[in-house]
Amino acid sequence: MGRNITPTIEGGLLVAITVIMGLVTVYVPILGMFVEFFCAVPLAVLTARQGVGKGLTALVVTLILLSMLISPMLAIRLALSFGICGVALGWGLRKNFGAVRIFLVTLIVASAAQIVSLILLLAIMDVNFIQTQIEMVRESFNESFALYESIGVEKARINEAKAQVEPAIQTLIFLMPTLIGLSALINALAVWFTAHWIFPKLQMKIPSLPAFAEWKFPSVFFYTALIGGLGMYWGFTRGWTEIFEVALNLLIISGIVGLIQGFSLLSAIFDRYKISKFMRRILYVVFVLNMFFLQLIAITGLIDMLFDYRKKLFKGGD
């Protein structure tokens, strides 16, 4: 913003920009999908420059204006999906946190916002979002089965497929906490990358995450994966559904983190031996498309949290 613009005017302009972006998100079909990812940026800029109090005030004003212009539920969804994440990111920048800490703060806030959004949906609209999504998935499969039956697929094969689908849907229900977490992660990533693109254009500094080949996660994820595996065994063999559900989510989340660290380790190895970018892409595609390789990379990543292969392989560690 220009030097002659007061903080109040700057805040008003950034609120107006956020409201306009919210309207575009709702009323412009294709463009709105992309604009939604940028809704957090004006609030992040305002919070970074004027403080979290001004950022939260702007978020409330934006929420009120969007509630009047579109609908309260859509306004709440935008505010909780991206607006509050923008405030969190701006607060981290104002506190001069490092890149990792800023991203973690944004992710935690995004996760809490997802949970609050589901609770509000249930309390205000009496809509169980999770059950609604499951029913949509089930209905989609039923329509597919009806289509197969209409084109002459054998009834026995369709019944066999139906028998396999229902357990998969039940597993999807168990994995809802993980899916909510992944949704929050997507929101946090969207806010992070859009801010990283826009901030330099405004002559504002934002720290960069470490190179992917240097990414390392704490060893706690190795132990949560171990606990998850044991918990799934106990829950399944003894019919403890609640324990099985918690353990399954622990194992999946830990496995995803292990997979990221495994690919980070691969990236470090590729850097060490100067593998060409073309060859890397081919190998990444092969690994991603093969479930055995994905599991192997995830397990390697989890073990790497304990033993730090990079230090041992590249720096002469014992």
CATH of the domain at 36: 1.10.1760
User: 110 in a domain, yes or no?
Assistant: yes
For residues 226 and 189, state if they share a domain: no
Number of Cβ atoms within 10 Å of the Cβ of 281: 10
User: 140 in a domain, yes or no?
Assistant: no
For residues 222 and 92, state if they share a domain: no
pLDDT of residue 117: 82
Radius of gyration of the CA atoms of the chain, in A: 23
**CB–CB of 109/63 below 8 Å?**
no
User: 145 in a domain, yes or no?
Assistant: no
- Segments forming the whole domain that contains residue 41: 7-125+180-202
For residues 70 and 197, state if they share a domain: yes
Which phi-psi region, left, alpha or beta, contains residue 28 (left: φ > 0; alpha: ψ -120 to 50)? beta
For residues 192 and 317, state if they share a domain: no
DSSP H helical ranges for 175-240: 176-198, 220-238
pLDDT of residue 3: 53
pLDDT of residue 317: 45
User: 288 in a domain, yes or no?
Assistant: yes
For residues 96 and 34, state if they share a domain: yes
User: 141 in a domain, yes or no?
Assistant: no
- Which tens digit of pLDDT belongs to each residue from 41-71? 999 999 999 999 999 999 999 999 998 988 8
Overall domain count for the chain: 2
Rounded (to 5) percent helix, strand, coil in the chain: 85, 0, 15
This prediction's pTM: 0.81
For residues 189 and 220, state if they share a domain: no
Separation CA 81–CA 76 (nearest Å):
8
For residues 103 and 22, state if they share a domain: yes
The contacts of residue 261 (CB under 8 Å, 6+ apart) are 215, 216, 217, 301, 302, 304, 305
For residues 110 and 249, state if they share a domain: no
Query: With a cut of 50, which residues of the chain have pLDDT below it?
Result: 2, 317-318
CA angle, residues 135, 80, 199, in degrees to nearest 5: 130
Domain final residue pick, 202, 235, 259: 202
For residues 119 and 264, state if they share a domain: no
Separation CA 72–CA 55 (nearest Å):
20
- Which tens digit of pLDDT belongs to each residue from 258-289? 999 999 999 999 998 888 999 999 999 999 99
For residues 190 and 268, state if they share a domain: no
